[in-house]
Amino acid sequence: MDTNTILQGKHRGPPLGLLAIISAVLFIGGIALSSRMAGGFYVSPFAPEETILQFFRLHADAVRMQAFFLLASAVPLGIYAATVFSRLNFLGIRVAGVTIALYGGLGASFLLASSGMAQWVLSQHSSGSHGDSLFAWQDFAYVTGGPGYSSMLGLLIAGVAVPAYFMRLLPRWFCLAGVAIGICGQLSLLSLIWPSAIYFVPLTRFPGFGWLVWCGILLPNSNKSKSVQGGQRQ
């Protein structure tokens, strides 16, 4: 006699929502703590040179603290990218967007870590005595942790949002919001030639944190196969 059975499997991996929360808390916590230590926000690379030199001379400890938290926040972000790639493949989504998401997530993690390491170099006493060297390291920290990171983060989010939209894995409005964040991430690259476009960096970064958290909560982690008949998959 024919029998119909629904086979279920559950993806095994770290909880995506928790990884996104840890990364966001480390990132935002580092900014908050270092700003409190310095008595103000991190100096802009577009500030006058004397202002930049004075900031790093007076607030090396705050810069070192932010460097630590930036580097720490990059680790769960990279794990998130690898896990969401694995989960989408587990759910049977094998399209280019999934690989683009992996590329973007690992790129964002690497660039964020690079920015943190550059800021650690800036926190060392020797860098404050050489203006040209300090400016070069600060520019590197900015381009990796600002537009570079935002662009890659946008690819991670859009790379998940687009396949999830067509496969109806996530709410349509949520996927469209992810695409919008991804576009902002690419527009942030304009800040390299048009400094006013720097506003696209926070427009990608902070909404992106929330998007990744909710994606981790909403994205299915179980795979239901088609019914099987007579003990064989249809």
Contact 145, 115 (CB under 8 A): yes
The pLDDT value given to residue 224: 64
Q: Is the pTM of this model over 0.85?
A: yes
Over the stretch 86-138, which tens digit does the pLDDT of each residue have? 999 999 898 999 999 999 999 999 999 999 999 999 888 655 556 778 888 99
Query: Using an 8 Å Cβ cutoff, are 91 and 220 in contact?
Result: yes
Domain limits, the chain: 14-219
At 102, give phi and psi (nearest 5°).
-65, -45
Rounded Cα distance, 70 and 38, in Å: 16
